[in-house]
Amino acid sequence: MKKVITYGSFDLFHDGHYNLLKRAKELGDYLIVGVTTEQYDESRGKLNVVDSLMDRIEHVRRTGFADEIIIEDHKGQKVEDILKYHVEIFTVGSDWIGTFDFLKEYCEVVYLDRTKDISSTSLRARNFSIIRVGVIGTGRIARRFAPEAKYVSGVNVECVYHPTKENAHVYAEKFELKSYTDDLATFWTEVDAVYIASPHQTHYGYAKAALEKKKHVLCEKPMVLNEKEAKELSRLAVESGCILFEAIKTAFCPGFAQLINIARSGVIGAIRDVEATFTKLESPLSRELTDTVTGGSFTELGSYALLPIVKLLGTNYQGLRFESIRADNGIDIYTKAYFNYLNGFATAKVGLGVKSEGQLVISGTKGYILVAAPWWKTESFEVRFEDEALNERYFVKFMGEGLRYELSDFAAAINGHTHKGLKLTLEESVMMATVMETFMLSSKKADI
Ligand code: CTP
């Protein structure tokens, strides 16, 4: 029996896919089709796949050409599959000519002519109009955003707003945007969605105004610094039918998503402790260490450290207390937040003026997961057990600055794929805002 294998994402299943599978089947007696997981697609830079893995598998199955459907979830798997299934022919469309010649060592490699004028990419572009994105703010993070947006299909950064026109002008020139403005009324007419990267205390005002104008909002962390405002924005998002995402990049990167899924799968038993550390030394003259209203370690870095805690232990903590070391101006240069949950603990440790090992440890009743620094750009992690022989390491690519992942999910959610919002829900953002508020109130008490 001659076995043939082929792979693809098979997103928005189209004639090109059908023709490819038909001819692949004709090459032999038994066809194996590998369908890529979302995480694998994301990790190789293929963002914005629309259909879920289950739907894509179902579409392949319905053609009747596949004798077996497998899942492709990591680099290097093709060789493993060819050996495992005793494959004689590997085939793929002619757009890949040359790319898979290295497999000739293991089997015959056939490039089949690609069907003209159709692709998932073109279908995605046709089905969904391009989302016009506007940027509010021109600082460090905003400057990282525009280049990252180039990697996400279906969105175009078109306009920038800054209260100082010259700042907006410089940004627009640098990133070749269509327009710039210091007038919000003009700005709203130019965009469908906004990315807010202005100072913390201005987030709420901009996000509220955007939602009232029915613009989707991707807002830098911390989205807001108190529960009331977070709830108000959530309510406005629901009312306006707009998407509201807090831009914590880690939440959306493929490595972190896999880490959370594995941690929640039960392999390390019940999760009893999460310890997340993020420190980044800043100059005492920096905005972060001189802005006595919203500066400081916890407001700057706390969102990252809170993320794994809320994802793994939930939003219903029973107790919370803080310990901080403060500079002379009262700003916290190092803070530890201690959480008590019904069946566990968590610690978030952040510092702008104290350096520590930036690791994440998730402890369970059967084992633990260690994510080394920089865990917030999750590229690898290890699941460890008492019996070291059972330890397993995972590797997932983190591309560029990582902002492309949140933007990609934001665009997909705008296009109606609301499950994309599950990587960080509004309920979780509200909980984080509540924690920020508790911290700021406890700091005030410490001043008295
Ligand atoms: N394919 C084809 N003819 C097309 C489109 C795809 O023969 N017009 C083949 C590809 O070469 C590959 C398989 O179908 O062997 C699965 O491709 P996939 O990457 O899932 O589809 P594309 O439409 O190329 O997707 P995208 O636009 O996202 O790259």
Tens of pLDDT, residues 261-305: 999 999 999 999 999 999 999 999 998 999 988 899 999 999 999
User: Residue 49: which pLDDT band, with cuts at 50, 70 and 90?
Assistant: confident
110 lines ligand 1 (CB under 6 A): no
Q: Which of 112, 137, 162 is the last residue of a domain?
A: 112
Provide the domain count of the chain. 3
Q: Give residue-wise pLDDT tens across range 304-339.
A: 999 999 999 999 999 999 999 999 999 999 999 999
Question: Are residues 244 and 255 part of one domain?
Answer: no
Any idea of the CA torsion for 293, 298, 302, 306, to the nearest 10 degrees?
-120
Q: Which of 72, 92, 97, 119 for a ligand 1 pocket mutation test, highest count of atoms within 8 Å of Cβ?
A: 119
Give me the CATH number covering residue 150: 3.40.50.720
Tell me how far apart the alpha carbons of residues 98 and 109 are, in angstroms, rounded to a whole number: 10
pLDDT at 446: 59
Is 115's C-beta closer than 6 angstroms to any atom of ligand 1? yes
DSSP 434: H
Q: Residue 13: what residue type?
A: F
Q: How many angstroms separate the Cα of 301 from the Cα of each of 157, 183, 353, 443? A: 27, 31, 12, 16
Q: What ligand 1 atom has the least distance to the C-alpha of 49?
A: 28
Looking up residue 349, the CATH number of its domain turns out to be 3.30.360.10
Helix, strand, coil shares, percent, the chain, to 5 = 40, 25, 35
Whether 83 has a pLDDT exceeding 70, the answer reads yes
353-375: burial string, b at 16+ Cβ within 10 Å, e else: beeeebbbbbbbeebbbbbeebb
Assess whether 25 and 63 both reside in one domain.
yes
Mutate which of 65, 114, 116 for ligand 1 pocket (most atoms within 8 A of beta carbon): 114
Pocket test for ligand 1, best of 6, 19, 27, 95 (most atoms within 8 A of CB): 95
> For residues 102 and 129, which has the higher predicted lDDT (pLDDT)?
102
Tell me: do 106 and 175 sit in the same domain: no
Task: Write down the residue that tokens 């029973």 correspond to.
Answer: 318
* Predicted pLDDT of residue 447: 54
189 and 56 fall within a common domain? no
Which ligand 1 atom is at minimum distance from the Cα of 91? 15
Cβ–Cβ < 8 Å for 435, 306? yes
Let me know if residue 430 belongs to a domain: no
List, in sequence order, every residue forming a beta bridge with 265; answer none if it has no partner. none
Same domain, 349 and 241: no
- Tell me which of 6-15, 33-42, 228-237, 423-432 is least confident: 33-42
Residue 320 alpha carbon to ligand 1 centre in Å: 51
Please check whether residues 324 and 368 belong to one and the same domain. Answer: yes
Q: Are residues 244 and 256 in the same domain?
A: no
Instruction: Tell me, yes or no, whether 40 and 146 share the same domain.
Output: no
pLDDT at 195: 98
- Nearest-atom number in ligand 1 for the CA of 10 is 20
In angstroms, rounded to a whole number, what is the distance separating the alpha carbons of residues 405 and 251? 9
Phi, psi dihedral angles at 254 (to 5 degrees): -60, -35
Which residue range is the domain that position 24 belongs to? 3-112
Residue 116 identity: K
How much of the chain, in percent, has pLDDT values that exceed 90? 86
- Backbone torsion region of residue 380, taken as left when φ is above 0, otherwise alpha when ψ lies between -120 and 50, otherwise beta: beta
Q: Looking at the structure, do residues 106 and 167 belong to the same domain, yes or no?
A: no
Residue 267's CB: how many other CB atoms inside 10 A?
A: 15
Task: Identify whether 417 is part of a domain.
Answer: no
For 114, counting Cβ atoms within 10 Å of its Cβ (0-12 exposed, 13-18 middle, 19+ buried), the class is middle
Looking at the CA of residue 36, tell me the nearest atom of ligand 1: 20
17 Cβ below 6 A of ligand 1: yes
CA nearest neighbour of 21 among 91, 79, 73:
91
Mark whether 11 and 101 lie in a shared domain. Answer: yes
CA–centroid distance, 257 to ligand 1, in Å, is 26
Same-domain status, 243 and 261: no
Residue 259 in any domain: the answer is yes
Is 34 among the domain residues? yes
Question: End of a domain among 230, 248, 266?
Answer: 248
Nearest atom in ligand 1 to the alpha carbon of residue 20 is: 7
Q: Is 120 in the pocket of ligand 1 (CB under 6 A)?
A: yes
pLDDT in tens, 171-197: 999 999 999 999 999 999 999 999 999
Would residue 305 count as lying in a domain?
Answer: yes
Q: What's the pLDDT band for 448 if we cut at 50, 70, 90?
A: very low
Decide: 9 in ligand 1 pocket, CB within 6 A: yes
Residue 287 resides in a domain: yes
- Strand segments, DSSP code E, in 60-154 are 68-72, 89-93, 108-112, 131-136
Give me the chain's average pLDDT, please.
95
Cα of 115 vs centre of ligand 1, distance in Å, is 9
Helix (H, G, I), strand (E, B) or coil at 266: coil
In a domain, 408, yes or no: no
What pTM, to 2 d.p., does this model score?
0.83
Which residue's CA is the nearest one to ligand 1's atom 13? Answer: 8
CATH code of the domain covering residue 77: 3.40.50.620
Domain limit, last residue, from 225, 248, 271: 248
User: Both 229 and 286 in a single domain?
Assistant: no
Cβ 92 under 6 angstroms from ligand 1: yes
**pLDDT tens digits, residue range 417-431?**
877 778 999 999 999
- Is 445 part of any domain? no
Which tokens hold the place of 341? 């949950």
